[in-house]
Structure 1
Amino acid sequence: MTQLRAIAPLLVAAVLAVIAVFTVKGAGCDDPGHYEPVAGGYQLIGGCLAPGDIVVPHPAPQDPNAIDPAAPSKG
């Protein structure tokens, strides 16, 4: 029973690694793409991502008059 407890995590890790390898191989992306420098940064050329795949939300507007509760009081 002690040997099973020692080997079980290794077997689970091996199975998960095999599943990960087959998942990546079956992802269906023939063109991994590449980055090219453009004005102000880099741009991904090719690849399996479409422009709408990654959505970055706009930051919430901050009120400049808001009081920071963590700031020490001046009085």
Structure 2
Amino acid sequence: MTRLQAIAPLLVAAALTAVAFATAKGAGCDDPGRYELQAEGYVLVGGCVAPGDLLVPDPAPPAPPADAAVAPAKG
């Protein structure tokens, strides 16, 4: 195994780490938020995520049972 093959994964990991830090630094969030204990449990207060930022799709309807998909034979 050559020396380059041995250190290539480390160089890639270091580059990805640098990109991750630069992305987090440039995210533009001045208030990271904090968790506070309230009557209903812990609630995130502050931060850069608003409730409308997270879109949760409606769940898909359940598939029909396998025996209902088979049509009865005409005879």
Q: 1:31 maps to what in 2?
A: 31
Task: Give distance in 1, aligned partners of 2:16 and 2:27.
Answer: 16
Task: Give distance in 2, aligned partners of 1:60 and 1:53.
Answer: 21
- Return structure 1 stretches of 4+ with deviation > 3 angstroms: 55-62
Superposed displacement of residue 10, structure 1: 0.7
Identity %: 66
* Unmatched runs of 5 consecutive residues or more in structure 1: 70-75
- The aligned amino acid for 2:21 is V
Greater fraction helix: 2
Task: Give distance in 2, aligned partners of 1:23 and 1:55.
Answer: 22
* Unmatched runs of 5 consecutive residues or more in structure 2: 67-75
Q: CA RMSD in A?
A: 2.6
Is the aligned partner of 1:48 residue 2:16?
no
Task: Give distance in 2, aligned partners of 1:57 and 1:29.
Answer: 26
- TM-score by length of structure 1 reads 0.69
Task: Give distance in 1, aligned partners of 2:58 and 2:5.
Answer: 48
Superposed displacement of residue 55, structure 1: 3.4
- The aligned amino acid for 1:15 is A
Task: Give distance in 1, aligned partners of 2:61 and 2:39.
Answer: 27
- TM-score by length of structure 2 reads 0.69
